[in-house]
Structure 1
Amino acid sequence: MSDRLFLPHPPFLQPTRRRFLAGAAAMAAWATFGPKARADGGTNGKAHALAMHGEPKYGPDFKHFDYVNPDAPKGGQLRMSVPNSTTFESFNPFIVRGAPAAGSDGIYESLTVASNDEAFTQYGLLAQYIETPDDRSWVEFTLNPAARWWDGTAITPADVIFTLETLRAKGKPFYRFYYRSVAKVEQTGDLGVRFTFVPGDNRELPLIIGQMSVLCKAYWETRDFEKPSLDLPMGSGAYRITAFEPGRFVVTTRVQDYWGRDLPVNVGTGNWDSVRYIYYKDETVALEGLKAGDFDIRQERSAKIWATGYDARPVRDGRIVREQIPNEIPTGMQCFPFNIRRPIFQDRRVRQALGYAFDFEWSNKALFFGQYTRNASYFSNTELASSGLPQGEELAILEKYRGKVPDEVFTSVYEPPKTKGDGDIRDNLLKARALLQASGWVIRNERLVKQETGEPFQFEFLLFDPMFERIVLPFLRNLRRLGIVTTLRTVGVAEYQNRTDNFDFDMISGGFGQSLSPGNEQADYWGSASADQPGGQNIIGIKDPVIDELVDLLIASPDRESLIQRTRALDRVLLWGFYVIPNWHLRSWRVAYWNKFSRPAIAPKYDLGLDTWWIDPAKAAALAGEQAS
């Protein structure tokens, strides 16, 4: 059961492009000649970094990020589990077809990489320098001359251009949407590549382009990019896949002559000689695997398991450490999204009514051991979340849409329905019934039907994780008390992915992850243009001109304060649209690990930072001695 924003594997299994980064000569050149970024976020010529707003925290002469240990020892193997996954079919994570293998995204590197203690700042990785004008109508990256593919050949502007063209033509629909604002890409000089954007006010585009993973043109131009394959691709990252068996494991091993091992953005990271990803079809079996020492670390997604599942000897005697590590990560919106392409969910009052049937307080008490906080914003745990009634700049933004958005946007403070937590939600169900009747649904023969046609109100709740069933079933029972016919269907990950990619569902359990600097991804989440794109992230199917305008306004934010106010306005309109039934959030990582690791004294604010941990020789020796005895 995933208690956080659901992912096929825990979040720290998701590859981070920051983790393995850059040669001593390149670092020296960067430190010596890299010009400083201007405080207004523009650049005076070429710069080492680019911030969304303001100035990068780390100057051109920085040696490493604050949240790493530059002297961390290298060595050993990190063993990790991939729960609730039956197998993998491809080492290409950029296409729709074929489940990608864990660790496969780490093969590739991006032009730039984000720090994990700033809202949104990108530092050079494959790119040594970044140049963009004050209006950010284009961005030019100068590649690091030391950057190499594993076969020793140089990474060139042709590779970057090939990547953009390939991802837009053959990659997941997300890439076509995300890079749609690139009007032209061209090589400039031996190492430069310039992206020119379509006219508009979109300050985020240079940073988005910098995040693009770069593909090897020489490898891919002779292969079918859209066909899933277990051929080992050419990469440039610090780790390459060296062994695998579908359905069982993947092993990635450090590249001994990795070109970028000494760049400041890479110092203190990638401290393992190898990483072994072990596949588990069943969550219970995976937990027992941790206790047995089959793998080293587990991020716990289940409140129940965290509270009751670790009563084992290795935990009691301290060989396995259970720890909640606080973070400042935006918690986003975990929720039950409606597919409003379905006629039964197109009335806002119906969606509001169904929200009254979810008893969070009882779930938190009976199922989650009181560990969670209810979501009341799409941007929870940040200054971006709306609260109270709109005022100031936020109110001025919303006034333009008065009459086009729900009146409650101006008159009421949004709060999800509440209960006493004792399981008795009769009052809430009466409110739900009144809303349903007002929208034309009535009870006949103990079933909710459309008054005019007699059509029954029925739908399917789709899951891929069986452990989530115990959360959804009480909700469905409450819906049945309203006369709604519901079914719960749990399918494999591959079928689930296919159905959600093609919007073949009524309701799911999912989530919309957020950052401290929301931008273009909001158009993919809520924009009309993405609602009919298979594989896109507008799961709900929202097509609202007001929301489109609010997203465009947010993307065009000229400074941090404007971004805050515009995000709050969007948040408020989304909340009062009742597009989802809000779930919950947690503001810490729940991690259990064998006591052989150490980590830096300063933790990254916005990431678990597992790639900055290391195997502590003294702890590992002591643990080995305890196990032997």
Structure 2
Amino acid sequence: MKLSHINRRSFLQFSAATAAAFLVPGGALPVQAGTWSHGLSVFGDLKYPADFTSFDYVNPEAPVGGKIAMTAPSWGYNQNPQTFNTFNTFILKGDAPPRMERCFDSLMIRAYDEPDAVYGLVAESAMVSEDGNFVTFKIRPEARFHDGSVLNAEDVVFSLMTLKEKGHPIISQSIKEMVSATAPDEHTVTVAFSGNHSRQLPLLIATLPIFSKNYYTRYNFEASTLTPPLSSGPYMVGRYEIGRYIEYKKVENYWAKDLPVTKGHHNFEIIRLDFFRDRQATFEAFKKGRLTFHEEFSSKTWATEYNFPALTEGRVVKKEFAIRLPSGAQGWFLNTRKEKFANPKVREALGYAFDFEWSNSALFYDLYTRTQSFFENSEMKAVGQPSEAELALLEPFKKDLPPEVFGEAITQPISNGSGQDRKLLREASLLLKEAGYYRRGEQLVGPDGKQLVMEFLSNSPAFERIVLPYVKNLRLLGIEASFRVVDPAQFQKRVDDFDYDIVGHRFALTPTLGPSIRNFWTSSAAETFGSYNLSGIKVPAVDDLVEKALNASSREEMITAARALDRVLRAGFYWVPQWFKAFHTVAVWDMFGIPNDMPAYDFPVETTWWVDSEKAARIGKES
């Protein structure tokens, strides 16, 4: 069972994984400062040479055509998988359809078989200054927008400065240490940084969307609008019906279609996204063939409901793909901006009331493993006692941190699997008593004389079967807990405004941490509406460790800082961790070609798969 904004709000597409170790004196030098390079990398040399013809994980001979129809398994920015009312996805206002980013090119593009490398798209090359405070991009003269107009350096400058001033907070906050972007000539862009910027920022800049400056002299960038924007990417908005479906149509004469970074990509003529308010309706649409790709996030459905005729006949097949990325931080996040969650003992007590072992057995068919870490399924996860290197980062904050930070990494209690473990509930009661709460009849009353009341906010009734047993245990403690479902637009507005008690989310991170992590955990993000610091964490040690991770001069230093950060976050009990599985569970109508080697650092179905016309004909599907 997957919650709401999974890697969806992770800022993954334009983000965080890509950076440049060579920007910091004393760091690794995979690319020499002061020289032009076709790509940029963080910790190590580039895998692909300047004359590479395509990435290894694509089929450069893949046929182009056909359609994939699906619901969005991931999304970002202001995108909403259940409805849409605007095509402007790079601002906070409105609900945009997922995948609008497919319409926009960027200076460079990620390689998904490397943890932290990008290669030239609009920019044919880049050069970093000796001091790391400037990066210059050389723009390809052939770059074009969809109306045929030239995409030049002024458009890049306009885009970067507009995103810094008016873009979605996830972008604007991440690039605030970008001082300026200038265009010495129509094919050159120079970006200046403050000197206090993270090592990853220049690469984040390289992967941001590029807009037409001329177009936005006629249209307001900050407007929520259903006018499809002028863009330059491999797809453009095609047919759509507001709130029901959108089709992204492949651009026939896409200017970059023969570049090495796009060869073997964008093979579908149409990428169609359908919108449903209900999980069961989505599944029924897939069973009938209205959807042809479906990533399944319900363990119950995966275990018990894939027995419909199309599957037993072999026209639909189930597949599992290993996830080699960090599995991410999935849980119920507690809003510490509210006084009732200010005491960490209260927050810790709430964790004792959730019986994962019962849920996994009774609800999830033992498909999941308990999440423990904010960096689950990765080497950044803290385990056991802190190392000497971790302690060196933590010691300066010792007087302000709980002692648990300096011992065994916090792990979640293991229940007896009964669904109502009295021992764990007793531990919760003791913690609440230490926090100043006491029983008054059936009610748990706080120091203010009022019963402790909390609401789980959701945008889907599918989670009711999971939350209600948890609510039952909370009520045994005397807490008045409830589960509330609101419509998608209201849910997003309340999340953006931090108007909730408890909300379920998952944030999947990339193997190399980037500026977006400031939006998850830092003090400044806690007060920025639309940020992903859902718990409202404001801890100086966290702020410092985030910067240590971002400015690490080696992968080992980054891992050490991340482990120390993980210890502090886990000891703060800002969430009740949920669960994860280390593989994608996918069902498809058996009409697709799939590359032999899926890349380690993404699951790029829409960009690297294709329609196999012979397979499509065999199952009676149009290619």
Band of TM-score, shorter chain: over 0.9
Matching of residue 7 in structure 1 with residue 5 in structure 2? yes
Contact 2:333 2:504 in 1 (8 A): yes
**Contact map agreement 1:12 1:608 (CA 8 A) in 2:** no
Is it true that 1:46 corresponds to 2:45 in the alignment? no
Offset of residue 231 of structure 1: 0.9
Give the direction of change, closer, same or farther, for the CA distance of 1:453–1:239 in structure 2 (3 Å limit). Answer: closer
Instruction: Give the 3 Å change call, closer, same or farther, for CA 12–533 of structure 1 in structure 2.
Output: closer
Instruction: For residue 127 of structure 1, report the CA deviation from its aligned partner.
Output: 1.1
What is the distance in 2 between the residues matched to 1:278 and 1:512? 23
Q: Specify whether residues 4 and 120 from structure 1 end up closer, same or farther in structure 2 by C-alpha distance, changes over 3 A only.
A: farther
The Cα offsets for residues 501-544 of structure 1, whole Å up to 9 and x where unpaired, read as: 01000101112221111132221111111111111111111111
Helix, strand or coil: the match of 2:619?
Answer: helix
**What are structure 1's unaligned runs of at least 5 residues?**
19-36
Tell me whether 1:542 sits opposite 2:537 in the alignment. yes
- In the other structure, the counterpart of 1:78 is 68
Residues 12, 173 of structure 1: alpha-carbon distance in 2 compared, 3 angstrom cutoff: closer
Work out whether 1:59 is the aligned partner of 2:49.
Answer: yes
* Pairwise CA distance, 1:314: 0.8
**CA distances 1:295-320 after superposition (whole Å, capped 9, x unpaired):** 21101111111111211011112110
Tell me which residue corresponds to 2:343: 347
Return the match for 1:252 from 248, 255, 258. Answer: 248
Deviations 1:188-237 (A, max 9, x none): 23311111111226211111111111111111121122221111211101
From 498, 501, 506, the equivalent of 1:506 is 501
How far residue 171 of structure 1 moved from its aligned partner, in angstroms, is 2.2
Counterpart position of 2:361: 365
Whether the aligned pair in 2 keeps the contact of 1:13 and 1:102 (CA below 8 Å) is: no
Structure 1 residues 362-388: Cα deviation after superposition (integer angstroms, max 9, x where no partner): 111111100111111111111111111
Q: 1:601 to 1:312 in 2, by over 3 A?
A: same
2:11 touches 2:170 (CA, 8 Å); kept in 1? no
The 8 Å contact of residues 461 and 508 in structure 1, kept in 2 or not, is answered as: yes
Out of 549, 552, 558, the residue aligned to residue 557 of structure 1 is 552
Cα deviation, 1:339-392, whole Å, max 9, x if unaligned, reads: 000001111111111100011111111111001111111111111111110113
Partner of residue 463, structure 1: 458
Q: How does 1:51-450 map to 2 (within 5 A)?
A: 51-82=41-72, 85-200=81-196, 202-450=198-446
- Return the match for 2:597 from 575, 590, 602: 602
C-alpha deviation, 1:594, in angstroms: 0.5
- 2:22 corresponds in structure 1 to none
Aligned residue in 1 for 2:618: 622
**Structure 1 residue 95 displacement after superposition:** 1.6
Q: Deviations over 1:449-496 (max 9, x none)?
A: 12x431211111100111011111111111111000112110011001
CA–CA distance in structure 2, aligned partners of residues 105 and 413 of structure 1: 38
CA contact (8 A) 2:177 2:197 kept: no
**Is the 8 Å Cα contact of residues 138 and 197 (structure 1) preserved in structure 2?**
yes
Spell out, residue by residue over 1:556-598, the C-alpha distance to the aligned partner (whole angstroms, 9 max, x if none): 1011111111111101111111111111111111110011111
CA–CA distance in structure 2, aligned partners of residues 616 and 122 of structure 1: 29
Preserved CA contact (<8 Å) 2:34 2:130? no
- CA shift, 1:135, in A, is 4.2
1:21 aligns to what?
Answer: none
Q: Counterpart of 1:250 in 2: which secondary structure?
A: strand
Shift of 1:82: 4.9
Q: How far does residue 134 in structure 1 lie from its aligned partner after superposition?
A: 4.8
Instruction: Name the amino acid aligned to 1:310.
Output: Y
**Which of 509, 521, 528 is 2:523 aligned to?**
528
Give the aligned residue type for 2:192: T
Code of the residue aligned with 1:58 in structure 2: it is: Y
**Distance apart, 1:149 and its partner CA:** 0.5
- Greater shift after overlay, 596-605 or 197-206? 197-206
User: Aligned pair 1:568/2:563, yes or no?
Assistant: yes
Q: CA deviation at 1:7?
A: 2.7
Letter in 1 for 2:340: I
Is the 1:102–1:250 Cα contact (8 Å) retained in structure 2? Answer: no
Alpha-carbon distance between aligned partners in 1 of 2:141 and 2:192, rounded to the nearest angstrom? 23
CA contact (8 A) 2:593 2:609 kept: yes
| 1:246-291 deviation line (CA, Å, top 9, x unaligned) | 1222122111111000111111111111222222232212211111
1:400 alignment partner, SS class: helix
Task: Quote the Cα distance in structure 1 between the aligned partners of 2:333 and 2:178.
Answer: 31
CA distance in 2, matches of 1:69, 1:371: 32
Deviation for aligned residue 1:150: 0.9
Q: CA deviation at 1:85?
A: 5.0
Is residue 386–residue 406 contact of structure 2 (8 Å, CA) maintained in 1?
yes
Alignment coverage as a number of residue pairs? 604
The question of 1:592 aligning with 2:587 is answered yes
Q: Tell me, which stretches of 5 or more residues in structure 2 are unaligned?
A: 16-26, 74-79
472 and 539 in structure 1: CA distance in 2 versus 1, 3 angstrom threshold: same
Cα distance change, pair 473–229 in 1 and its aligned pair in 2 (3 A) = same
Whether the 8 Å CA contact 2:293–2:589 is kept in 1: the answer is: yes
Q: Pairwise CA RMSD of aligned residues?
A: 2.1
Note closer, same or farther for the CA distance 1:267–1:17 as it changes in structure 2 (3 Å cut): farther
With over 3 angstroms needed to count, the CA separation of the structure-2 counterparts of 1:41 and 1:554, relative to structure 1, is farther
> Distance between the aligned counterparts of 2:365 and 2:508, measured in 1?
24
CA offsets, 1:391-434, max 9 Å, x none? Answer: 13112211222222111111233211111212231100100110
Alignment-mate amino acid for residue 4 of structure 2: F
Residue aligning to 2:21: none
What amino acid sits opposite 2:36 in the alignment? K
SS in 2 for 1:403: helix
- Is the contact between residue 136 and residue 206 of structure 1 (CA under 8 Å) also seen in structure 2? no
The TM-score with structure 1 as length reference comes to 0.92
| Aligned partners of 2:294 and 2:587 also within 8 Å | yes
Aligned-pair CA distance for 1:172: 1.9
When structure 1 is superposed on structure 2, of 546-555 and 128-137 the one drifting more is 128-137
**Aligned residue type for 1:322:** K
Alignment correspondent of 2:487: 492
Deviations 1:133-168 (A, max 9, x none): 354222111111111001111111111111122222
